[in-house]
Amino acid sequence: MALTRKFLAALGIEAEKVDEIITAHQETLADVKAERDKYKEDADKLPEVQKELDSLKAAKGTDTQYKEKYEKEHKDFEDYKAGVEAKELKAKKNAAIKNLFKDAGMAEKYLDAVLKIYDTDSVELDKDGNIKDADTRKATVKEQYPEFIQTQSEKGADVNKPPKGNGGADNKEKSRAAQIAAKYYENIYGKEKAAKEE
What pLDDT does residue 78 have?
92
Measured in degrees and rounded to the nearest 5, phi and psi for residue 181 equal -65, -40
Alpha carbon separation from 185 to 69, 148, 174, 176, 189 (Å, rounded): 115, 65, 15, 14, 6
- Size (the chain), residues: 198
| Beta partners for residue 125, in sequence order | 131
What pLDDT does residue 23 have?
87
pTM for this structure?
Answer: 0.39
**47 vs 174, more confident:** 47
Which range, of 72-81, 91-100, 139-148, 159-168, averages the lowest pLDDT? 159-168
DSSP single-letter state for residue 125: B
As a whole number of angstroms, the distance between CA 104 and CA 118 comes to 14
